[in-house]
Amino acid sequence: MAEITLFPQPRQLERKTGNFTINRHTRIFAEDAALGEMLAAYLRPATGFDLPAHPLDDNIAADARNAILLVRSDAVLGAEHYALNVESGRVIITASHGGGFLHGMQTLRQLLSPQILSDETVADAAWTLPCVHINDAPAFGWRGLHLDVCRHMFPLAFIKKFIDMLAFYKFNIFHWHLTEDQGWRIEIKKYPRLTEVGAQRAETVVARTWDQYDGVPHGGFYTQDEVREVVAYAAERGITVMPEIELPGHAVAALTAYPELGCVGEGYEVRRTWGIAEDIFCAGKDEVFTFLKDVLSEVLELFPSKYIHIGGDEAPKSRWEACPACQERINAEGLADEHELQSWFIRQIEAWLNERGRNLVGWDEILEGGLAPNATVMSWRGSDGGIAAANAGHDVIMTPNTYCYLDYYQSEDTDSEPWAIPAILPLKQVWQYEVVPKQITADKRHHILGGQGNIWTEYMPHADHVEYMVFPRAIAIADVLWHHPEQRDYDALVARLRRHLPALDIMGVNYRPLDD
Residue 82, H or E segment: strand 82-86
Axis crossing angle, helix 463-470 with helix 473-483, rounded to the nearest 10:
50
Nearer to ligand ACM, 98 or 312 (CB): 312
Site membership for ligand ACM, residue 345 (CB under 6 A): no
Residues 6+ apart with CB under 8 A from 462: 152
Angstrom distance (rounded) from CA 306 to CA 336: 32
What is the full DSSP assignment across 141-201? Answer: SEEEEEEE-SSS---HHHHHHHHHHHHHTT--EEEEE-EETTEE-B--TT-THHHHTTTEE
Closest by Cα among 115, 94, 37 to 502: 115
CB of 364 to ligand ACM, least distance (A): 8
The smaller minimum CB distance to ligand ACM, of residues 83 and 378, is found at 378
Cβ proximity to Zn ion: between 333 and 413 the closer is 333
- Among 60, 207, 325, 424, contact with Zn ion (rule: CB under 5 A): 325
CA 2 to chain centroid: 33
List the single partner that 7 binds among Zn ion, ligand ACM, none, CB under 5 to 8 Å by kind: none
In order of 19, 21, 432, the CA distances from 89 in angstroms are: 8, 9, 41
In whole angstroms, the minimum distance from the beta carbon of 380 to ligand ACM comes to 4
When the beta carbons of 35 and 378 are compared against ligand ACM, the nearer one is: 378
Q: Which stretch binds Zn ion (CB under 5 A): 69-77, 182-190, 226-234, 319-327?
A: 319-327
User: How many CA atoms lie within 13 Å of 391's alpha carbon, on the beta-carbon side?
Assistant: 12
Among 150, 227, 263, 375, binds Zn ion (CB under 5 A): 263
Strands 128-136 and 12-21 turn out to be antiparallel
Candidate residues 164, 294, 314, 417; the one interacting with ligand ACM per rule CB under 6 A: 314
Other CB atoms within 10 Å distance of the CB of residue 445: 13
Q: Nearest distance from residue 363's CB to ligand ACM, in Å?
A: 4
CA distances from 110 to 3, 106, 131, 174, 363 (A): 12, 6, 13, 21, 35
Size of the site for Zn ion (CB under 5 A): 6
Sign of CA dihedral 50, 54, 56, 60: negative
Check binding of 326 to Zn ion (CB under 5 A).
yes
Query: Beta-carbon neighbour count of residue 454 at 10 Å?
Result: 21
Q: Kindly report the number of other CB atoms within 10 A of residue 225's CB atom.
A: 10
- Closest to ligand ACM by CB, 160 vs 381, is 381
Q: Which is nearer to ligand ACM, 137 or 404 (CB)?
A: 404
We find the least distance from the C-beta atom of residue 343 to ligand ACM, in angstroms, to be 18
Q: How far is the CB of 129 from ligand ACM (least distance, A)?
A: 42
Contact map string, positions 354 to 383, toward ligand ACM, x by CB under 6 A: ---------x----------------x---
Q: How far is the CB of 381 from Zn ion (least distance, A)?
A: 25
Instruction: Report CA Rg, the chain.
Output: 24
Residue 313 binding result from Zn ion, ligand ACM, none, given CB thresholds of 5 to 8 Å by partner type: ligand ACM
Among 130, 220, 265, 284, binds Zn ion (CB under 5 A): 284
Q: Does 282 bind Zn ion (CB under 5 A)?
A: yes
Neighbours of 94 (CB within 10 A): 20
Decide which of ligand ACM, Zn ion, none touches 406; Cβ closer than 5 to 8 Å per partner kind: none
Q: Where are the alpha helices (DSSP H) in 356-461?
A: 384-391, 401-404, 427-430
| Closest approach of ligand ACM to the CB of residue 246, in Å | 9
Q: Are 174 and 235 in contact (CB under 8 A)?
A: no
Contacts of 117 (CB under 8 A, 6+ apart): 46, 109, 503, 506, 507
Q: Which does 430 bind (CB under 5 to 8 A by kind): ligand ACM, Zn ion, none?
A: none
Check residue 313 for interaction with ligand ACM (CB under 6 A): yes
384 scored as a contact of ligand ACM (CB under 6 A): no
Which of ligand ACM, Zn ion, none does residue 314 bind to, with CB < 5 to 8 Å depending on kind?
ligand ACM
Size of residue set near ligand ACM by CB under 6 A: 4
State the amino acid at position 147 in one-letter form.
L
Answer with the entry of ligand ACM, Zn ion, none that 38 interacts with (C-beta below 5 to 8 A by kind): none
Residue 87 binds to ligand ACM (criterion: CB under 6 A): no
Give the interface with Zn ion as residue ranges (CB under 5 A).
263, 282, 284, 323, 325-326
Residues that bind ligand ACM (CB under 6 A): 313-314, 363, 380
